[in-house]
Structure 1
Amino acid sequence: MAGSTLTRPQQLSFTPGRAARELGLKRNEFDLAVHLGHIRTVPDEGGGGPRVARSETDRVRAADGFPEALLKRVRVVGTTEGAEAMDIPVGRFTRLARLGVVTPVRFYLNRYRAVVWLYLAEELAQFAADEQNTALLHARRMPEGMRGLLDEGVDLRPRNWRARHREFLLRSADGPWESAGALAAFLDPVEIAELVRDPYERSYLNRFRPTPPHQGAPGTPAAHLTERIMTADDPDEISRLRRDLAQALEDARTVRPAPRPAGEQRPSATPPPPPPDEPAQHEAPRGLLGWLRRRSA
């Protein structure tokens, strides 16, 4: 048409890789920003995984201080840098992390298959700046109760990471079966088999179980170690997960029963999980107080 200019239609959404480039982020920075809720994703109508709407990338770019402010929020540090950021010795930082005072946001396995925990630099700086934490950071000796827990070998880093990762998976779930799968991802298969007796339902649930991050090739030592970190091992944590999963399954059955062969009847009820010995406490990412309470009891 004379006098007119043809333009390409504006793309309405991006793949995660393209969205990261649009925002000037490395892929691991982008993934962490999504994990923390700083960048929102939408489901792909074609079933190809999450996407990022153009309106969302525009919103992020228009925020005050972009991109420096966003990069600051997703900066992670290891133990040595974390200790420097808090102005404490590395040994004290490690002890505080084991006690759950600071919570890891990521981990990876180094070439020696040792677990390397990573922390949000911004969270560490905020903790160190709080005057209420001065004694905990700089007192000559830790409180006796905390020293006792360390002597017993307490290490809350895996549990606290699981709590954080579980929040992300539940926030990202698109439906009740996805929510149930997110909870099941942290339970041993034996626990799931006890809780979900119907084999068709159990098989359907397993379709929605997210794989552990950084798992590597199945069957390798690294994969086994990652699965061990992903799997709940504390009785209180297991009891809460079983209870939450039982409720999530009830919701999922109401919305969409698990498929089964024609003529197969769904069991009338799935046996409920056995009640815990004591009421489960609300699990917060920082689990030190809970440990101290149980120790006092």
Structure 2
Amino acid sequence: MENDVQKQLTSPSKATRENIRGKALTFIIASLIIVLTVAVIGFIAIKGITTFTKDGVNLWDFLTKSNWNPGSIKDGKPEVGAAPMILGSFLVTLLAAVIATPFSLAIGIYMSEYASKKTNKLLRPVLELFTGVPSVVYGFLGLVIIVPMMRTIFGGTGFGILPGAIVLFVMIFPTITSMVVDALTAVPVSYRQAALALGATQWQSIYKIVLRAATPGILTAVIFGMARAFGEALAVQMVIGNSVLMPTSLVSPTATLTSQLTSQIGNTIMGSIQNDALWSLALVLLIMSLFFNLLVKMIARKRKI
């Protein structure tokens, strides 16, 4: 009898056993995610550097030259200049962010500072609806509306960086706006009350106090939107022209890293020079995505400090 009681007192309870199992399960899942992430990054890195280690392509030439014809050999080396795609990706992403930021700020300020609860309940689902629209729909709308409009206004084919930036603007605008609203709402009400108590108008309290306090969150929203825009493939491919040419204007056809990958990866043989060059583009895209994520982390850390 005493042994049974002693055993019950010393053995772990049901809640303790459940806690141990829960910790073990979460540890296994977290470890699996880490292993998968490292495996994906390692695989892309190994495949991406093959162009430089096996095919003999110079890294500087890859980043700066504009001739993209992996199947052609010149001076004993394949022509894999990725500068037009890298430049096109950066230009279309930056332009989309420049267009989207003022609109997102305006809507964010209205929703967090001026709109009633009823209006907010109406606007929130609308933003979420835009976020859930498939990218191919945005690309098709850009193809049948924006491209002909660009052709009418500027001439030429109508394809280029500007149509791509407009399509990306529509795609990233809801995401940036939602994050801006969250950043503005997170500013303590006491900041606004203190400004109003000192005689400031509502707009002065927003401009001088609220926006400055929410700046790290707003920057995080913009960079997050840029990261999404940089990795968008199908919608941009449909309106940018997808021609590997150095852009001479905002309405001249060019290509991005993602548009070239999606259009060509299925037409190459694994292990060929053409396939290795595309993996190198994927590696550049991965590095830039990691860079954007690092910026978000740095801004978030600064916000906490």
User: Normalising by structure 2, what TM-score?
Assistant: 0.22
User: Normalising by structure 1, what TM-score?
Assistant: 0.23
Q: Which of the pair has more CA radius of gyration? A: 2
More helix by share: 2
